[in-house]
Amino acid sequence: MSRATKLLTQPNLFFKDMYKKRFQRPSTPTANTSQQKKVNAVTVKKEYSTQPNKSANAASKVTPSLIIDNMRLFTKISHLLHTGEGVRCAYQLEQWVGEFIASGEKFAILTRNIEMYKWAIQQYPYLDIVYAKAAIDVENMLNKLPYLKGIYYFSNTGNLIHTLRYNVYQHIFLGHGDSDKAASAHKYFRVYDEIWVAGQAHIDRFKNAKFNIGHLTFIKVGRPTLKQIVKKSVNNLNSPKNIKSLTYFPTWEGVYEENNYSSAHLSVVMLPEIQSRLECNIFAKYHPLTSSRDKTLATISDALSQSFIEKPFMLEIADKTVPVEKLIVNSDLFICDISAVVSECISSLCPIFIYIPADRNIVTSSSEMQYSDYAYEFSSIPQLMSLIETVLIEGNDYLAEARYKALDYLLSINETVNNEFINQLKRIGADNSLQENVREQITQ
């Protein structure tokens, strides 16, 4: 359309276009086009920089490999508790913390798992707790504890090598129980300076393990967490016992099936039948690692509760974090598997029934007393019910005297009652030769 035609047919559009061309001219182009491109690129870069930097944010969320916020460094801390496990094994730490507090000795806790660290600082906000992931982190932390003398271990984990390599400290194995499992006595224990055991039973397991233990040092410390139960049991040795409550302590299914000693798969049928026969209260505490390998046991607690649907008030399933001794003290009868809990139940001197799987070869660390010497063994529910009939209903508890002998053999009555654990802690804390070694390490 020509300009004349547009003026005659669409005068409004004609004058609008004329106004744009006259008064709204485009700005003069920049002479250096490449320079303008650079300016534009800088502008774009600045615009992007105002947006969240995803990679930077991700980096900021990475957990530091060393956390010392809850640790008082350069103080007179003499003892360090090493926990190399995850939070599912928090019970190992719980077993000993109270005893270290009661000793009055200055100590700290070294965690190697971040979830365990988070749990520990919530559980014990008033204690010195550090998280160190790698070997260099452990080294940096140890260099800031100039008075440290002893490091204590609850289990044999691979990350122990980061502390065991320091010769200037006493490395002491405490463990988290006392059982006849094969893991209780093997050659790895050679790495420790001292092995603190509950009683002679653990020492004998090493003697019978068929390897040289001549250089190992064993210290009997009893079982300090069971002190009050042991005293009560010994004082009431000849008192009549009425079965009002039964506590069930199954172990977990193990790393491999051949090491599976657990009776948990029987519990849903076994416990209601026992309750019906004895008319007693039932307490059950499944192992914290239950269903780690066998996922079909993940809902075992719910299944057990359902089996007591008509008598819910007769069953109590304890949380996995509840200390064993809190359940032992009010129990009159125990059903256990091959595990450390057997030696803890013996502290009550009450009858113990222990499950021994019949479909596999059971490999244990043998002491001079076998389970059959002081506990009633069973491999099936009918066999258990027959034993209950004989021992409890008919009153023929023929292992009663043997349990007292086992108590001293397993847990050392005198050492438990007379605070030998605390005495040994103070020995380590007062060892001036260890302190001199530390000073030499610092000055070199």
Give the model confidence (pLDDT) of 380-393 as tens digits: 999 999 999 999 99
Instruction: Examine the domain organization and report whether 358 and 404 are in the same domain.
Output: yes
Q: What percent of the chain has pLDDT over 90?
A: 59
pLDDT exceeds 90 at position 443: no
Asked if 439 and 374 sit in the same domain, the reply is: no
pLDDT confidence of residue 340: 83
86: region left, alpha or beta (phi > 0 left; psi from -120 to 50 alpha): beta
Q: What is the DSSP string of 192-225?
A: -SEEEESSHHHHHHHHTSSS--TT--EEE---GG
- Residues 404 and 425 occupy one common structural domain: no
Residue 387 amino acid letter: L
C-alpha 287: how far from chain center: 11
CATH label of the domain that carries residue 98: 3.40.50
Residues 249 and 172 placed together within one structural domain of the fold: no
Helix 227-235 and helix 400-411: axis angle, to 10°? 150
Q: Which of these, 70, 73, 72, 83, lies nearest to 145 by C-alpha position?
A: 73
Looking at every residue in the chain, the average pLDDT score rounds to: 84
CATH number where 397 lies:
3.40.50.12580
CA 226 to chain centre: 19
Higher per-residue confidence, 95 vs 274 = 274
CB atoms closer than 10 angstroms to residue 216 = 15
Q: If you search the block for the tokens 């030998």, which residue do you land on?
A: 420
**Mean pLDDT score, 275-295:** 93
Residue 208 vs residue 243, higher pLDDT: 243
Q: Which residue has the tokens 């051949």?
A: 258
Same domain, 266 and 146: no
The CA–CA distances, whole Å, from 161 to 7, 118, 133, 139, 157 equal 95, 23, 12, 12, 9
Q: How confident is the model at residue 57 (pLDDT cuts 50, 70, 90)?
A: low
Same domain, 377 and 238: yes
Looking at the structure, do residues 432 and 374 belong to the same domain, yes or no? no
* Residue 384 near residue 360 (C-beta atoms within 8 A): no
- Whether 392 maps to a domain, the answer reads yes
Q: Which residues contact 342 (CB under 8 A, 6 or more apart)?
A: 179, 180, 336, 352, 354, 371, 375
- Positive or negative torsion for Cα 314, 320, 322, 328: positive
The reply to whether 40 falls in a domain is no
Asked, for residue 30, whether it belongs to a domain, the answer is no
- Asked whether residue 41 carries a pLDDT value surpassing 50, the answer given is no
- Residue 122 lies inside a defined structural domain of this protein: yes
pTM for the predicted model, two decimal places: 0.74
pLDDT at position 374:
95
Per-residue pLDDT, 432: 77
pLDDT band at residue 33, thresholds of 50, 70 and 90? Answer: very low
- Run of H or E including 258: none
**217 domain residue, yes or no:** no
172 and 231 part of one domain: no
3-class secondary structure, 316 = strand
Let me know whether 131 and 150 are in one domain: yes
254 or 188, higher pLDDT: 254
**Mean pLDDT within 323-337:** 92
Q: Indicate whether 238 and 386 sit together in one domain.
A: yes
Distance between CA 65 and CA 101 in Å, rounded?
27
Residues 277 and 404 in one domain: yes
Measured N-to-C along each axis, helices 400-411 and 200-207 cross at an angle, to the nearest 10 degrees, of 80
Question: pLDDT for 397-415, tens place per residue?
Answer: 999 999 999 999 999 999 9
Whether residue 199 lies inside any domain: the answer is: no
Confidence of residue 42 (pLDDT cuts 50, 70, 90): very low
Q: How many domains does the chain have?
A: 2
The answer on pLDDT for 56 being more than 60 is no
Predicted pLDDT at 178: 66
pLDDT given at position 48: 34
232 and 171 in a single domain? The answer is no
Residue 175: count other Cβ atoms within 10 Å of its Cβ: 23
Give whichever of 87-91, 199-203, 300-304, 436-440 has the largest mean pLDDT.
300-304
pLDDT at res. 236: 85
* Residue 220 is assigned to a structural domain of this protein: no
The answer to whether 367 touches 201, Cβ cutoff 8 Å, is yes
Considering only 59-63, 85-89, 241-245, which range has the smallest mean pLDDT?
59-63
Question: Residue written as tokens 């013996």?
Answer: 346
148-180: pLDDT as tens digits: 999 999 988 889 899 999 999 999 999 876 655
Whether 210 is covered by a domain: the verdict is no
Give every CB contact of residue 418 below 8 A, 6+ residues apart in sequence: none
Nearest to residue 133, comparing CAs of 150, 117, 149?
A: 117
Position 21 scores a pLDDT of: 58
Contact 227, 315 (CB under 8 A): no
* Residue 138 domain boundaries: 66-176+419-443
Residues whose CB falls within 8 Å of the CB of residue 250, separated by 6 or more in sequence, listed in order: 262, 263, 264, 267, 284, 286, 287, 290, 336, 337, 355
